[in-house]
Protein backbone atom coordinates (compact mmCIF):
# COMPACT_ATOMS: atom_id res chain seq x y z
CA UNK A 1 0.00 0.00 0.00
CA UNK A 2 1.28 3.45 -0.93
CA UNK A 3 -0.22 6.80 0.03
CA UNK A 4 -0.72 9.69 -2.40
CA UNK A 5 -0.31 13.05 -0.70
CA UNK A 6 -1.92 16.18 -2.18
CA UNK A 7 -0.78 19.51 -0.73
CA UNK A 8 -2.23 22.95 -1.41
CA UNK A 9 0.56 25.54 -1.36
CA UNK A 10 0.13 29.30 -1.62
CA UNK A 11 2.76 31.78 -2.77
CA UNK A 12 4.04 30.05 -5.92
CA UNK A 13 4.32 32.35 -8.94
CA UNK A 14 6.68 30.68 -11.44
CA UNK A 15 8.54 27.53 -12.50
CA UNK A 16 11.33 28.33 -10.08
CA UNK A 17 8.83 28.21 -7.24
CA UNK A 18 7.92 24.68 -8.28
CA UNK A 19 11.56 23.66 -7.89
CA UNK A 20 11.96 25.25 -4.44
CA UNK A 21 8.72 23.76 -3.11
CA UNK A 22 9.54 20.37 -4.62
CA UNK A 23 12.95 20.30 -2.93
CA UNK A 24 11.40 21.17 0.42
CA UNK A 25 8.74 18.48 0.17
CA UNK A 26 11.25 15.90 -1.01
CA UNK A 27 13.38 16.63 2.07
CA UNK A 28 10.27 15.91 4.16
CA UNK A 29 9.88 12.41 2.66
CA UNK A 30 7.72 12.75 -0.46
CA UNK A 31 8.66 10.85 -3.62
CA UNK A 32 7.51 11.02 -7.25
CA UNK A 33 6.70 14.69 -6.78
CA UNK A 34 4.81 16.88 -9.22
CA UNK A 35 4.37 20.55 -8.36
CA UNK A 36 2.11 22.87 -10.35
CA UNK A 37 2.55 26.54 -9.46
CA UNK A 38 -0.45 27.63 -11.53
CA UNK A 39 -2.82 25.38 -9.57
CA UNK A 40 -0.97 25.83 -6.28
CA UNK A 41 -0.83 22.06 -5.82
CA UNK A 42 1.89 19.53 -5.08
CA UNK A 43 1.29 15.80 -5.38
CA UNK A 44 3.64 13.07 -4.25
CA UNK A 45 3.89 9.57 -2.82
CA UNK A 46 4.56 8.87 0.83
CA UNK A 47 6.60 5.71 1.15
CA UNK A 48 6.22 5.88 4.93
CA UNK A 49 8.55 8.71 5.98
CA UNK A 50 6.63 11.89 5.10
CA UNK A 51 6.39 14.42 7.92
CA UNK A 52 4.13 17.47 7.48
CA UNK A 53 5.90 19.37 10.27
CA UNK A 54 9.23 18.82 8.55
CA UNK A 55 7.76 20.13 5.29
CA UNK A 56 6.43 23.23 7.02
CA UNK A 57 9.81 23.80 8.66
CA UNK A 58 11.57 23.48 5.31
CA UNK A 59 9.33 26.22 3.89
CA UNK A 60 9.55 28.48 6.92
CA UNK A 61 10.82 31.95 6.07
CA UNK A 62 9.79 31.66 2.43
CA UNK A 63 6.76 33.06 0.64
CA UNK A 64 5.28 29.56 0.41
CA UNK A 65 2.72 28.22 2.87
CA UNK A 66 1.07 24.82 3.17
CA UNK A 67 -2.66 25.43 3.64
CA UNK A 68 -4.01 21.88 3.42
CA UNK A 69 -2.81 18.28 3.17
CA UNK A 70 -4.90 15.32 2.02
CA UNK A 71 -4.01 11.69 1.49
CA UNK A 72 -5.38 8.68 -0.37
CA UNK A 73 -4.21 5.09 -0.12
CA UNK A 74 -3.49 3.24 -3.36
CA UNK A 75 -3.12 -0.54 -3.33
CA UNK A 76 0.16 -1.84 -4.65
CA UNK A 77 0.08 -4.64 -7.22
CA UNK A 78 -0.51 -8.08 -5.70
CA UNK A 79 3.06 -9.03 -6.56
CA UNK A 80 4.48 -6.04 -4.69
CA UNK A 81 7.40 -4.14 -6.19
CA UNK A 82 8.52 -7.02 -8.38
CA UNK A 83 6.76 -5.92 -11.58
CA UNK A 84 7.69 -6.12 -15.23
CA UNK A 85 6.70 -2.54 -16.12
CA UNK A 86 5.70 0.68 -14.43
CA UNK A 87 2.86 1.05 -16.94
CA UNK A 88 1.33 -1.78 -18.95
CA UNK A 89 -0.89 -0.48 -21.76
CA UNK A 90 -3.46 -2.70 -23.46
CA UNK A 91 -4.04 -1.45 -27.00
CA UNK A 92 -1.83 0.40 -29.50
CA UNK A 93 -3.84 3.28 -30.93
CA UNK A 94 -3.66 7.02 -30.38
CA UNK A 95 -4.54 6.90 -26.69
CA UNK A 96 -2.06 4.11 -26.07
CA UNK A 97 0.86 5.81 -27.81
CA UNK A 98 0.15 9.21 -26.24
CA UNK A 99 0.20 7.50 -22.85
CA UNK A 100 3.33 5.52 -23.63
CA UNK A 101 5.26 8.59 -24.80
CA UNK A 102 4.18 10.56 -21.72
CA UNK A 103 5.16 7.70 -19.44
CA UNK A 104 8.60 7.43 -21.03
CA UNK A 105 9.03 11.20 -20.67
CA UNK A 106 8.39 10.66 -16.96
CA UNK A 107 11.08 7.98 -16.83
CA UNK A 108 8.74 5.01 -16.50
CA UNK A 109 9.18 1.58 -18.07
CA UNK A 110 6.38 0.91 -20.54
CA UNK A 111 4.97 -1.92 -22.62
CA UNK A 112 2.13 -1.94 -25.12
CA UNK A 113 0.12 -5.12 -25.64
CA UNK A 114 -1.50 -5.51 -29.06
CA UNK A 115 -3.38 -8.53 -30.42
CA UNK A 116 -3.81 -7.21 -33.96
CA UNK A 117 -2.40 -4.45 -36.13
CA UNK A 118 -0.46 -1.70 -34.42
CA UNK A 119 -1.86 1.83 -34.68
CA UNK A 120 -5.52 1.50 -33.71
CA UNK A 121 -8.60 2.78 -35.49
CA UNK A 122 -7.59 6.23 -36.72
CA UNK A 123 -4.63 5.38 -38.90
CA UNK A 124 -5.76 1.92 -40.01
CA UNK A 125 -9.53 1.95 -40.57
CA UNK A 126 -10.84 5.34 -39.50
CA UNK A 127 -9.75 8.95 -39.92
CA UNK A 128 -6.83 8.52 -42.29
CA UNK A 129 -8.24 6.03 -44.83
CA UNK A 130 -11.69 7.62 -44.94
CA UNK A 131 -10.34 11.14 -45.52
CA UNK A 132 -7.82 9.76 -48.01
CA UNK A 133 -10.81 8.64 -50.10
CA UNK A 134 -13.12 11.56 -49.31
CA UNK A 135 -10.62 14.04 -50.75
CA UNK A 136 -10.43 12.51 -54.26
CA UNK A 137 -14.18 11.84 -54.25
CA UNK A 138 -14.84 15.52 -53.56
CA UNK A 139 -12.35 16.54 -56.25
CA UNK A 140 -14.04 14.22 -58.76
CA UNK A 141 -17.47 15.59 -57.92
CA UNK A 142 -16.32 19.21 -58.22
CA UNK A 143 -14.73 18.44 -61.60
CA UNK A 144 -18.12 17.43 -62.92
CA UNK A 145 -20.03 20.30 -61.29
CA UNK A 146 -18.18 23.57 -61.89
CA UNK A 147 -20.16 26.58 -60.58
CA UNK A 148 -18.19 29.13 -62.62
CA UNK A 149 -19.37 30.57 -65.90
CA UNK A 150 -16.70 30.46 -68.57
CA UNK A 151 -14.79 27.53 -67.04
CA UNK A 152 -15.62 24.09 -68.35
CA UNK A 153 -14.53 21.06 -66.35
CA UNK A 154 -15.28 17.39 -66.76
CA UNK A 155 -14.97 14.28 -64.64
CA UNK A 156 -13.53 11.19 -66.27
CA UNK A 157 -13.69 7.60 -65.14
CA UNK A 158 -13.35 6.35 -61.57
CA UNK A 159 -10.82 3.61 -60.85
CA UNK A 160 -11.84 2.72 -57.29
CA UNK A 161 -9.25 -0.04 -57.04
CA UNK A 162 -6.47 2.46 -57.78
CA UNK A 163 -7.87 4.92 -55.22
CA UNK A 164 -8.00 2.20 -52.56
CA UNK A 165 -4.45 1.06 -53.37
CA UNK A 166 -3.20 4.63 -52.97
CA UNK A 167 -5.09 4.92 -49.68
CA UNK A 168 -3.56 1.67 -48.43
CA UNK A 169 -0.07 2.91 -49.31
CA UNK A 170 -0.60 6.09 -47.28
CA UNK A 171 -2.00 4.15 -44.34
CA UNK A 172 0.98 1.79 -44.30
CA UNK A 173 3.44 4.69 -44.37
CA UNK A 174 1.74 6.55 -41.53
CA UNK A 175 1.34 3.40 -39.45
CA UNK A 176 5.06 2.75 -39.75
CA UNK A 177 6.24 6.32 -39.24
CA UNK A 178 3.80 7.44 -36.55
CA UNK A 179 3.48 4.22 -34.57
CA UNK A 180 5.81 1.28 -35.24
CA UNK A 181 8.99 3.37 -35.57
CA UNK A 182 8.26 5.20 -32.32
CA UNK A 183 8.70 2.04 -30.28
CA UNK A 184 12.47 2.21 -30.70
CA UNK A 185 12.59 6.00 -30.56
CA UNK A 186 11.07 6.05 -27.07
CA UNK A 187 12.14 2.63 -25.79
CA UNK A 188 8.65 1.15 -25.59
CA UNK A 189 8.27 -2.63 -25.53
CA UNK A 190 5.66 -4.20 -27.82
CA UNK A 191 4.08 -7.43 -26.59
CA UNK A 192 2.02 -9.21 -29.24
CA UNK A 193 -0.93 -11.19 -27.99
CA UNK A 194 -4.30 -10.97 -26.27
CA UNK A 195 -4.30 -9.43 -22.79
CA UNK A 196 -6.77 -10.42 -20.09
CA UNK A 197 -7.06 -9.41 -16.46
CA UNK A 198 -6.93 -12.35 -14.07
CA UNK A 199 -7.31 -10.24 -10.93
CA UNK A 200 -7.39 -6.62 -9.72
CA UNK A 201 -3.68 -6.15 -10.50
CA UNK A 202 -2.68 -9.13 -12.65
CA UNK A 203 -2.74 -9.58 -16.42
CA UNK A 204 -1.98 -12.49 -18.71
CA UNK A 205 -1.02 -12.18 -22.38
CA UNK A 206 -1.90 -15.41 -24.14
CA UNK A 207 -1.59 -17.14 -20.79
CA UNK A 208 1.76 -15.56 -19.83
CA UNK A 209 1.69 -13.32 -16.73
CA UNK A 210 2.82 -9.74 -17.37
CA UNK A 211 2.76 -7.42 -14.37
CA UNK A 212 2.53 -3.66 -14.15
CA UNK A 213 2.63 -1.16 -11.35
CA UNK A 214 -0.26 0.51 -13.14
CA UNK A 215 -2.44 -0.50 -16.08
CA UNK A 216 -4.05 1.50 -18.88
CA UNK A 217 -6.90 0.12 -20.99
CA UNK A 218 -6.81 1.68 -24.47
CA UNK A 219 -8.37 -0.99 -26.67
CA UNK A 220 -10.63 1.33 -28.65
CA UNK A 221 -14.00 0.48 -30.18
CA UNK A 222 -15.38 -1.45 -33.14
CA UNK A 223 -18.36 -1.15 -35.45
CA UNK A 224 -21.70 -2.12 -33.91
CA UNK A 225 -24.76 -3.29 -35.80
CA UNK A 226 -28.25 -3.45 -34.24
CA UNK A 227 -30.33 -6.62 -34.40
CA UNK A 228 -32.36 -6.56 -37.62
CA UNK A 229 -34.35 -9.54 -38.79
CA UNK A 230 -32.46 -11.31 -41.61
CA UNK A 231 -29.38 -9.11 -41.43
CA UNK A 232 -27.02 -11.85 -40.31
CA UNK A 233 -27.79 -13.74 -43.52
CA UNK A 234 -27.48 -10.61 -45.68
CA UNK A 235 -24.12 -9.35 -46.96
CA UNK A 236 -23.53 -5.86 -45.62
CA UNK A 237 -20.71 -3.37 -45.36
CA UNK A 238 -19.37 -1.65 -42.26
CA UNK A 239 -17.30 1.51 -42.04
CA UNK A 240 -14.25 -0.75 -42.20
CA UNK A 241 -15.15 -2.95 -45.16
CA UNK A 242 -16.67 -0.07 -47.15
CA UNK A 243 -13.17 1.42 -47.39
CA UNK A 244 -11.92 -1.82 -48.96
CA UNK A 245 -14.35 -1.94 -51.90
CA UNK A 246 -12.68 -1.98 -55.30
CA UNK A 247 -15.87 -1.82 -57.37
CA UNK A 248 -18.25 1.11 -57.12
CA UNK A 249 -21.82 0.09 -56.26
CA UNK A 250 -24.45 1.47 -58.61
CA UNK A 251 -26.93 1.83 -55.75
CA UNK A 252 -26.13 1.99 -52.02
CA UNK A 253 -28.33 1.98 -48.93
CA UNK A 254 -26.76 3.59 -45.85
CA UNK A 255 -28.33 2.86 -42.47
CA UNK A 256 -27.30 5.64 -40.12
CA UNK A 257 -26.88 9.31 -40.96
CA UNK A 258 -24.61 10.58 -38.22
CA UNK A 259 -20.98 11.49 -38.97
CA UNK A 260 -19.74 8.14 -40.30
CA UNK A 261 -22.83 7.37 -42.36
CA UNK A 262 -22.91 10.82 -43.90
CA UNK A 263 -19.21 10.85 -44.74
CA UNK A 264 -19.12 7.41 -46.32
CA UNK A 265 -22.47 7.76 -48.07
CA UNK A 266 -21.42 11.03 -49.66
CA UNK A 267 -18.06 9.51 -50.59
CA UNK A 268 -19.81 6.95 -52.80
CA UNK A 269 -22.41 9.46 -53.99
CA UNK A 270 -19.66 11.78 -55.21
CA UNK A 271 -17.97 8.90 -57.05
CA UNK A 272 -21.23 8.10 -58.85
CA UNK A 273 -23.35 5.80 -56.67
CA UNK A 274 -27.05 6.48 -56.11
CA UNK A 275 -27.41 6.66 -52.34
CA UNK A 276 -30.36 6.31 -49.96
CA UNK A 277 -29.89 7.22 -46.30
CA UNK A 278 -32.03 5.64 -43.58
CA UNK A 279 -31.93 7.45 -40.22
CA UNK A 280 -33.92 6.22 -37.21
CA UNK A 281 -33.88 9.59 -35.42
CA UNK A 282 -36.03 12.47 -36.57
CA UNK A 283 -33.27 14.13 -38.60
CA UNK A 284 -29.90 13.42 -40.15
CA UNK A 285 -26.82 14.80 -38.39
CA UNK A 286 -28.93 14.45 -35.24
CA UNK A 287 -26.40 16.01 -32.86
CA UNK A 288 -25.91 19.15 -34.92
CA UNK A 289 -28.16 22.19 -34.80
CA UNK A 290 -31.48 21.41 -36.54
CA UNK A 291 -31.16 24.37 -38.90
CA UNK A 292 -27.86 23.00 -40.21
CA UNK A 293 -29.22 19.46 -40.47
CA UNK A 294 -32.12 20.73 -42.54
CA UNK A 295 -29.86 22.63 -44.92
CA UNK A 296 -27.65 19.60 -45.43
CA UNK A 297 -30.61 17.28 -46.07
CA UNK A 298 -31.77 19.63 -48.83
CA UNK A 299 -28.25 19.65 -50.25
CA UNK A 300 -28.07 15.84 -50.39
CA UNK A 301 -31.45 15.65 -52.09
CA UNK A 302 -30.39 18.31 -54.58
CA UNK A 303 -27.41 16.09 -55.43
CA UNK A 304 -29.83 13.24 -56.23
CA UNK A 305 -29.84 11.26 -52.97
CA UNK A 306 -32.86 9.97 -51.06
CA UNK A 307 -33.03 10.76 -47.34
CA UNK A 308 -35.48 8.95 -45.04
CA UNK A 309 -35.62 10.45 -41.55
CA UNK A 310 -37.49 8.84 -38.65
CA UNK A 311 -37.15 5.52 -40.48
CA UNK A 312 -36.53 2.21 -38.70
CA UNK A 313 -34.92 -0.76 -40.46
CA UNK A 314 -37.07 -3.84 -39.81
CA UNK A 315 -35.95 -6.64 -42.14
CA UNK A 316 -33.10 -7.30 -44.54
CA UNK A 317 -32.38 -9.91 -47.16
CA UNK A 318 -30.79 -10.64 -50.49
CA UNK A 319 -32.22 -11.40 -53.90
CA UNK A 320 -29.47 -12.76 -56.10
CA UNK A 321 -26.71 -10.15 -56.29
CA UNK A 322 -28.98 -7.48 -54.83
CA UNK A 323 -29.81 -6.67 -51.23
CA UNK A 324 -33.08 -5.30 -49.86
CA UNK A 325 -34.16 -3.55 -46.69
CA UNK A 326 -37.67 -3.08 -45.33
CA UNK A 327 -38.06 0.20 -43.48
CA UNK A 328 -40.88 1.53 -41.33
CA UNK A 329 -41.25 5.17 -42.36
CA UNK A 330 -44.06 7.47 -41.28
CA UNK A 331 -46.47 4.63 -40.65
CA UNK A 332 -45.80 2.74 -43.86
CA UNK A 333 -43.44 -0.04 -44.83
CA UNK A 334 -40.99 0.86 -47.59
CA UNK A 335 -38.89 -1.74 -49.41
CA UNK A 336 -35.51 -0.48 -50.60
CA UNK A 337 -33.24 -2.36 -53.01
CA UNK A 338 -29.61 -1.75 -53.88
CA UNK A 339 -26.33 -3.35 -54.87
CA UNK A 340 -24.83 -2.78 -51.43
CA UNK A 341 -25.99 -2.16 -47.87
CA UNK A 342 -23.80 -0.13 -45.49
CA UNK A 343 -24.50 -0.31 -41.76
CA UNK A 344 -23.18 2.88 -40.15
CA UNK A 345 -24.94 2.56 -36.81
CA UNK A 346 -22.22 3.36 -34.29
CA UNK A 347 -19.31 1.85 -32.41
CA UNK A 348 -18.99 -0.09 -29.17
CA UNK A 349 -16.01 -0.54 -26.85
CA UNK A 350 -13.60 -3.46 -27.26
CA UNK A 351 -13.90 -4.85 -23.72
CA UNK A 352 -15.50 -8.27 -24.10
CA UNK A 353 -12.23 -10.23 -23.89
CA UNK A 354 -10.45 -8.17 -21.21
CA UNK A 355 -11.72 -9.95 -18.09
CA UNK A 356 -12.81 -6.69 -16.52
CA UNK A 357 -15.03 -8.49 -14.01
CA UNK A 358 -11.95 -10.11 -12.51
CA UNK A 359 -10.26 -6.71 -12.37
CA UNK A 360 -13.22 -5.01 -10.72
CA UNK A 361 -13.43 -2.44 -13.53
CA UNK A 362 -16.90 -1.01 -14.05
CA UNK A 363 -18.42 -0.67 -17.53
CA UNK A 364 -21.60 0.96 -18.78
CA UNK A 365 -24.43 -0.83 -20.60
CA UNK A 366 -22.56 -0.54 -23.93
CA UNK A 367 -19.36 -2.03 -22.51
CA UNK A 368 -17.41 1.22 -22.27
CA UNK A 369 -15.09 1.56 -19.28
CA UNK A 370 -16.48 4.08 -16.82
CA UNK A 371 -13.90 6.75 -15.97
CA UNK A 372 -13.92 9.95 -13.97
CA UNK A 373 -12.46 13.22 -15.24
CA UNK A 374 -8.96 12.04 -14.27
CA UNK A 375 -9.44 8.88 -16.41
CA UNK A 376 -9.40 6.67 -13.30
CA UNK A 377 -11.59 3.55 -13.25
CA UNK A 378 -13.27 1.80 -10.33
CA UNK A 379 -9.98 -0.11 -9.81
CA UNK A 380 -7.31 2.19 -8.28
CA UNK A 381 -4.57 0.41 -10.28
CA UNK A 382 -6.30 0.76 -13.64
CA UNK A 383 -6.94 3.76 -15.92
CA UNK A 384 -8.66 3.92 -19.30
CA UNK A 385 -8.41 6.31 -22.25
CA UNK A 386 -9.70 6.76 -25.77
CA UNK A 387 -12.73 5.19 -27.43
CA UNK A 388 -12.88 2.30 -24.97
CA UNK A 389 -13.80 4.72 -22.18
CA UNK A 390 -16.91 6.80 -21.58
CA UNK A 391 -15.52 9.65 -23.68
CA UNK A 392 -16.36 11.31 -27.02
CA UNK A 393 -14.88 9.20 -29.80
CA UNK A 394 -12.40 11.56 -31.44
CA UNK A 395 -8.73 10.83 -32.00
CA UNK A 396 -7.59 14.09 -30.40
CA UNK A 397 -9.66 13.29 -27.31
CA UNK A 398 -8.05 9.85 -27.26
CA UNK A 399 -4.55 11.31 -27.41
CA UNK A 400 -5.26 13.93 -24.74
CA UNK A 401 -6.86 11.37 -22.44
CA UNK A 402 -3.95 8.96 -22.88
CA UNK A 403 -1.45 11.66 -21.94
CA UNK A 404 -3.42 12.68 -18.85
CA UNK A 405 -4.13 9.11 -17.79
CA UNK A 406 -0.46 8.15 -17.90
CA UNK A 407 0.65 11.06 -15.73
CA UNK A 408 -2.18 10.52 -13.26
CA UNK A 409 -1.49 6.80 -13.06
CA UNK A 410 2.24 7.19 -12.51
CA UNK A 411 2.42 10.44 -10.54
CA UNK A 412 -1.02 10.95 -9.03
CA UNK A 413 -1.02 14.34 -10.73
CA UNK A 414 -4.75 14.83 -10.55
CA UNK A 415 -4.96 16.29 -14.06
CA UNK A 416 -8.43 16.36 -15.56
CA UNK A 417 -9.82 16.21 -19.10
CA UNK A 418 -11.83 19.36 -19.82
CA UNK A 419 -14.19 18.85 -22.76
CA UNK A 420 -15.85 22.29 -22.65
CA UNK A 421 -14.05 23.49 -25.78
CA UNK A 422 -13.75 20.17 -27.60
CA UNK A 423 -14.51 20.65 -31.32
CA UNK A 424 -16.01 18.06 -33.64
CA UNK A 425 -15.92 17.91 -37.43
CA UNK A 426 -17.86 15.85 -39.96
CA UNK A 427 -15.96 15.78 -43.25
CA UNK A 428 -18.87 16.00 -45.63
CA UNK A 429 -19.16 18.56 -48.44
CA UNK A 430 -19.95 21.09 -47.09
CA UNK A 431 -18.56 20.05 -43.73
CA UNK A 432 -20.01 20.38 -40.25
CA UNK A 433 -17.94 21.75 -37.37
CA UNK A 434 -19.07 22.54 -33.86
CA UNK A 435 -17.76 23.45 -30.44
CA UNK A 436 -19.58 23.95 -27.17
CA UNK A 437 -23.29 23.81 -26.48
CA UNK A 438 -26.14 23.61 -28.93
CA UNK A 439 -29.09 25.87 -28.23
CA UNK A 440 -31.13 22.93 -26.92
CA UNK A 441 -28.32 21.69 -24.66
CA UNK A 442 -27.80 25.18 -23.21
CA UNK A 443 -31.50 25.53 -22.43
CA UNK A 444 -31.54 22.06 -20.85
CA UNK A 445 -28.83 23.31 -18.50
CA UNK A 446 -31.10 26.15 -17.47
CA UNK A 447 -29.13 28.80 -19.35
CA UNK A 448 -30.91 31.81 -20.81
CA UNK A 449 -29.46 32.12 -24.28
CA UNK A 450 -29.64 34.18 -27.42
CA UNK A 451 -28.67 32.95 -30.87
CA UNK A 452 -27.76 34.21 -34.31
CA UNK A 453 -28.04 32.29 -37.57
CA UNK A 454 -26.05 33.54 -40.54
CA UNK A 455 -26.77 32.01 -43.97
CA UNK A 456 -23.73 31.65 -46.20
CA UNK A 457 -25.40 33.99 -48.69
CA UNK A 458 -24.17 36.73 -46.33
CA UNK A 459 -20.54 35.56 -46.43
CA UNK A 460 -18.38 37.12 -49.20
CA UNK A 461 -16.11 34.07 -49.46
CA UNK A 462 -19.09 31.84 -50.19
CA UNK A 463 -20.35 34.27 -52.82
CA UNK A 464 -16.95 34.34 -54.52
CA UNK A 465 -16.87 30.53 -54.45
CA UNK A 466 -20.35 30.43 -56.02
CA UNK A 467 -21.29 28.01 -53.23
CA UNK A 468 -23.62 29.35 -50.55
CA UNK A 469 -24.83 26.05 -49.13
CA UNK A 470 -24.56 26.27 -45.36
CA UNK A 471 -24.88 28.56 -42.36
CA UNK A 472 -23.28 29.60 -39.08
CA UNK A 473 -25.15 29.48 -35.77
CA UNK A 474 -23.79 31.01 -32.58
CA UNK A 475 -25.22 30.42 -29.09
CA UNK A 476 -24.46 33.02 -26.42
CA UNK A 477 -25.39 33.70 -22.83
CA UNK A 478 -28.22 36.24 -22.93
CA UNK A 479 -26.91 38.11 -19.90
CA UNK A 480 -23.16 38.26 -20.42
CA UNK A 481 -22.87 37.68 -24.15
CA UNK A 482 -20.29 34.92 -23.58
CA UNK A 483 -20.04 32.54 -26.51
CA UNK A 484 -21.38 29.14 -25.42
CA UNK A 485 -21.39 27.32 -28.74
CA UNK A 486 -20.47 27.75 -32.40
CA UNK A 487 -21.85 25.61 -35.20
CA UNK A 488 -20.75 25.85 -38.82
CA UNK A 489 -21.91 24.17 -42.03
CA UNK A 490 -19.59 25.40 -44.76
CA UNK A 491 -16.69 24.57 -46.98
CA UNK A 492 -13.66 24.49 -44.65
CA UNK A 493 -15.77 24.49 -41.48
CA UNK A 494 -13.19 22.36 -39.68
CA UNK A 495 -10.59 25.10 -40.09
CA UNK A 496 -13.02 27.88 -39.21
CA UNK A 497 -14.09 26.30 -35.93
CA UNK A 498 -10.64 26.59 -34.35
CA UNK A 499 -11.12 30.35 -34.01
CA UNK A 500 -14.28 29.67 -32.00
CA UNK A 501 -12.38 27.12 -29.88
CA UNK A 502 -9.80 29.76 -28.97
CA UNK A 503 -12.49 32.35 -28.28
CA UNK A 504 -14.38 30.00 -25.98
CA UNK A 505 -11.17 28.97 -24.22
CA UNK A 506 -10.84 32.58 -23.07
CA UNK A 507 -14.58 33.05 -22.41
CA UNK A 508 -14.89 35.68 -25.12
CA UNK A 509 -18.19 37.43 -25.71
CA UNK A 510 -19.83 37.78 -29.09
CA UNK A 511 -19.17 41.54 -28.94
CA UNK A 512 -15.46 40.84 -28.44
CA UNK A 513 -15.48 38.41 -31.38
CA UNK A 514 -17.25 40.97 -33.55
CA UNK A 515 -14.59 43.54 -32.64
CA UNK A 516 -11.68 41.27 -33.61
CA UNK A 517 -9.96 41.50 -36.99
CA UNK A 518 -11.09 38.76 -39.39
CA UNK A 519 -9.43 38.63 -42.82
CA UNK A 520 -11.78 39.55 -45.63
CA UNK A 521 -12.71 36.93 -48.19
CA UNK A 522 -12.01 34.03 -45.87
CA UNK A 523 -14.61 31.66 -44.49
CA UNK A 524 -13.38 32.60 -41.00
CA UNK A 525 -15.01 35.99 -41.54
CA UNK A 526 -18.33 34.19 -41.14
CA UNK A 527 -17.70 34.05 -37.37
CA UNK A 528 -17.39 37.84 -37.19
CA UNK A 529 -20.50 38.32 -39.30
CA UNK A 530 -22.45 35.82 -37.17
CA UNK A 531 -21.33 37.68 -34.04
CA UNK A 532 -22.40 40.99 -35.56
CA UNK A 533 -25.76 39.47 -36.49
CA UNK A 534 -26.84 39.40 -32.84
CA UNK A 535 -27.66 43.11 -33.03
CA UNK A 536 -27.12 44.14 -36.66
CA UNK A 537 -28.59 43.30 -40.04
CA UNK A 538 -25.35 42.26 -41.73
CA UNK A 539 -27.03 42.41 -45.14
CA UNK A 540 -27.07 46.18 -44.69
CA UNK A 541 -23.37 46.53 -43.82
CA UNK A 542 -20.65 47.44 -46.25
CA UNK A 543 -17.75 45.03 -46.76
CA UNK A 544 -15.72 44.63 -43.56
CA UNK A 545 -17.94 47.12 -41.71
CA UNK A 546 -17.15 47.09 -38.01
Sign, CA torsion 51/52/57/58: positive
One domain for residues 69 and 154: no
One domain for residues 319 and 353: no
One domain for residues 128 and 43: no
Catalytic residue among 12, 343, 504, 523: 12
Residue 418 pLDDT: 94
Half-sphere exposure of 9 (CA within 13 A, CB side): 32
Cα angle 188, 189, 195; round to 5: 125
Distance CA 257, CA 309 (A): 9
Q: The CATH number of the domain where 50 resides is what?
A: 3.30.70.100
Rounded to an integer, the average pLDDT of 373-394 is: 97
Identify whether 186 is a catalytic site residue: no
Residue 72 pLDDT: 64
Contact 473, 292 (CB under 8 A): yes
One domain for residues 90 and 202: yes
One domain for residues 92 and 219: yes
Residues of the chain with pLDDT > 70: what percent?
A: 97
One domain for residues 198 and 113: yes
Torsion angle of the four alpha carbons 455, 460, 466, 472, in this order, in degrees rounded to the nearest 10 = -30
The runs of H, that is alpha helices, within 412-492 are 439-444, 460-465
One domain for residues 219 and 311: no
CA separation (Å) from 428 to 138, 188, 266? Answer: 9, 37, 7
Inside any domain, residue 79: no
Q: The CATH number of the domain where 256 resides is what?
A: 3.50.50.60
One domain for residues 341 and 353: no
User: For residue 98, what are the domain limits?
Assistant: 85-223+349-411
User: Which of 411, 436, 453 delimits the end of a domain?
Assistant: 411
One domain for residues 13 and 124: no
Catalytic residue among 140, 179, 215, 543: 543
Please provide the average confidence, as pLDDT, over all residues in the chain.
Answer: 95
Q: The CATH number of the domain where 498 resides is what?
A: 3.30.390.30
Distance CA 367, CA 346 (A): 13
pLDDT at position 76 over 70: no
Residue 18 pLDDT: 87
CA separation (Å) from 31 to 2, 25, 414? Answer: 11, 9, 16
One domain for residues 150 and 198: yes
pLDDT bin (cut points 50, 70, 90) of residue 79 is: very low
One domain for residues 533 and 432: yes
What would the pLDDT profile of 212-263 be if each residue is shown by its tens digit? Answer: 999 999 999 999 999 999 999 999 999 999 999 999 999 999 999 999 999 9
Identify whether 17 is a catalytic site residue: yes
CA separation (Å) from 497 to 9, 21, 134, 258, 456? Answer: 38, 40, 20, 19, 15
pLDDT at position 77 over 60: no
Residue 1 pLDDT: 54
Residue 41 pLDDT: 81
pLDDT bin (cut points 50, 70, 90) of residue 73 is: low
Identify whether 506 is a catalytic site residue: no
What would the pLDDT profile of 287-334 be if each residue is shown by its tens digit? Answer: 999 999 999 999 999 999 999 999 999 999 999 999 999 999 999 999
One domain for residues 341 and 354: no
Catalytic residue among 64, 85, 179, 236: 64
Catalytic residue among 1, 85, 122, 236: 122
Catalytic residue among 127, 186, 396, 422: 127
DSSP classification of residue 148: S
pLDDT bin (cut points 50, 70, 90) of residue 371 is: very high
Residue 2 pLDDT: 62
- In the sheet that 332-338 helps form, which strands lie side by side, from edge to edge? 311-319, 322-329, 332-338
Q: What 3-state DSSP class applies to 100? A: helix
Identify whether 140 is a catalytic site residue: no
Distance CA 265, CA 409 (A): 41
User: Which of 52, 74, 96 delimits the end of a domain?
Assistant: 74
Identify whether 215 is a catalytic site residue: no
pLDDT at position 272 over 90: yes
Inside any domain, residue 417: no
Domain count, the chain: 4
Identify whether 122 is a catalytic site residue: yes
Amino acid sequence: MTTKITIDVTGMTCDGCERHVGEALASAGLEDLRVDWRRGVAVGVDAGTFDVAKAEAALEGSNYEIVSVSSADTPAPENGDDVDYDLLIIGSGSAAFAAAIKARDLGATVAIVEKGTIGGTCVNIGCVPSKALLAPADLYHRAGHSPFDGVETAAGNVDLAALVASKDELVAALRQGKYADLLDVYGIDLIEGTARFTGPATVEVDGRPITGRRYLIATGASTWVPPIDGLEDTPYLTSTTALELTELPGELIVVGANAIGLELGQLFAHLGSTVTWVEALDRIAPFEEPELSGIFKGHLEAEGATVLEGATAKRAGRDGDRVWLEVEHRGTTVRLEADRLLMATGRRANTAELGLEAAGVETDRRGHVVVDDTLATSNPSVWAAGDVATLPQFVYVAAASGNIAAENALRGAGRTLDLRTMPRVTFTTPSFASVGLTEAAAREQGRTVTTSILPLEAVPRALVNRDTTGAVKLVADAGTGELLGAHVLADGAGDVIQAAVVAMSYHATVDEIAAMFHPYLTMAEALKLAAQAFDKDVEKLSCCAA
